[in-house]
Structure 1
Amino acid sequence: MTSVSGVDGTGNVANQAAQARLTTDTQSFLRLLTAQLTNQDPLQPVDPTQWVTQLAQFSSVEQQVSSNTMLAQVLGELRIGSDRADMSYIGRSVEIVSSQVGVKGGQLDARYILPAGTVSADVRLLDRDGNLVHTFAAQTTPGAHELSWDGVKADGTMVADGTYTLAVDARDEKGAALKSEVTYNSKVARVRREELDTLFELENGATVGRYDIVSAS
């Protein structure tokens, strides 16, 4: 099943409530204004400047609420357009840059990229709790290295399907840590919204964010 949840309407609801309250307050103000004009002392009339100031304040609030309503509508349209764009990824192959990798059917396919100056490297697969699942024989040559694993752990058991962390620890000749990258390709199986984030569930079992996707085909 493929889906994207609807646009968050919290802003629209808040603006509708503000608009309704403004209408009520304006009507109350006009009734009060009429009563004051009708019952004021002709010998000591209220300063007209006060009426103008109050009317200006109400006008300013009305314009602000109206602007907020229009902004909420624009944001809603942008969100709908973004959702449609996200849904277009379903079924497409995407390239991901993320250490969060997926294992499905015991199969893991990824690549790690070592920077220039690397003299030693350690590649490990960790579970969600940070526990070591498997250690790979790592290359040390700078550049991209393919990694493919059948899911069989050192004790002969099969790793469970799910999302794992592929931790790459690259070091230079002085033992200082170097920045490395993990990338892989998979097809998008489902798109869903979680709070204000869009998440892409991949066929390899991983779940990534929009900004983890660097290309699509």
Structure 2
Amino acid sequence: MTAGISSLVTSSASSSTQTGTASSASGLANNFNQFLTLLTTQLKNQNPLDPMDTNQFTQQLVQFAGVEQQLKTNDRLDTILSASQAASTASATSYIGKTITTDGASTQLADGSATWTLDPARAAAKAVVTISDSKGNVVASQTTTLAAGSQAFTWNGKTSAGLNAPAGTYSIKVAATDATGSSVAVDTSVTGLVSEVDLSGGTPVLLVGSQRVPLSSVQQIGLSTSGS
């Protein structure tokens, strides 16, 4: 009989890790009733000369109580997770129709113009700006100077051959040096309009044109373009 109770408790513990919280809770309630029935029967029919080991009896109760507590903890964690996901979704959808600035080197060429924000660590006497298409092919290169601080860099969509590059995603790379020839680090970011939010994954992703932007990459949020 003792083995039967231990097996029942073990089965309940295994169930809690292999099935959903709701079905596990239901199974636990059923198993608990069976547990009490077995326990009562065992107590009634135990040999007075060889009664149930008190330590074993206590261990069975503690083990079963532990399973019950684990399921209650899982219930609370699921509730917290659902609330967190709902808050994240609500936050993400509020970005639609607004302009955002996000760290990164890729942006969209539209209407013959693409703009990046460059932020050198200090003034650069020489900065070679290389622009590549979505396949990694270099389409244009320019040499300029950069002042210290954040500043916009706009590409007119002209390739090195003087042709108009097709609309699409382009990335920028900046190799800068100061007056002494020492390398200068340049951070890049882009600004664009959020057109939709992808909620198919575990975390929401903002779409700026065809560019996918995780919420963690957003540096700044602009006003809505609706005029409200």
TM-score of Structure 1 vs Structure 2, range by shorter chain: 0.7 to 0.9
Other-structure match for 1:6: none
Q: Which runs of structure 2 are paired with 1:1-217 in the superposition (5 Å)?
A: 14-116=20-122, 118-172=124-178, 176-203=182-209, 205-216=210-221, 217=223
Return the TM-score normalized by structure 1.
Answer: 0.79
1:101, distance to aligned residue in structure 2 (A): 1.7
Larger C-alpha radius of gyration, 1 or 2?
2
- Structure 1 pair 86–176 and aligned structure 2 pair: CA distance change class (3 A): same
In 2, Cα distance between the equivalents of 1:151 and 1:139?
Answer: 20
Structure 1 CA distance for aligned equivalents of residues 109 and 48 of structure 2: 86
Could you tell me how far 1:47 is from its partner in structure 2?
A: 1.8
Which gives a bigger RCO, structure 1 or 2 (Cα 8 Å, sep 6+)? Answer: 1
CA offsets 1:114-146 (integer angstroms, 9 cap, x no match): 221533322112234433232133324333342
Deviation at 1:51, TM superposition (A): 1.8
Of the structure 1 ranges 65-74 and 40-49, higher mean CA displacement relative to structure 2 is found in 40-49
What's the Cα RMSD here? 2.6
Task: Deviation per CA, 1:73-100: give whole Å up to 9, x if none.
Answer: 0221121012111111111122223222
2:15 aligned residue: none
Alpha-carbon shift at residue 24 of structure 1 (Å) = 4.4
The alignment partner of 2:67 has SS state of helix
Instruction: Give structure 2 stretches of 5+ with no counterpart.
Output: 1-18, 224-228
8 A Cα contact 2:122 2:148, kept in partner: yes
The question of whether the paired residues in 2 share the 8 Å contact of 1:170 and 1:178 is answered with yes
Runs of 4+ in 1 over 6 A off after TM superposition: none
| Structure 1: unaligned runs, 5 residues or longer | 1-12
Amino acid at match of 2:100: V
Read off the aligned partner of 1:122 and give its amino acid letter.
Answer: V
Confirm or deny: 8 A CA contact 1:162 1:206 kept in the other structure. no
CA distance in 2, matches of 1:68, 1:168: 49
Q: Structure 1 residues 162 and 62, CA, compared in 2 at 3 Å: closer, same or farther? A: farther
Q: How many residue pairs are counted as aligned between the two chains?
A: 204
Q: Which amino acid aligns with 1:57?
A: Q
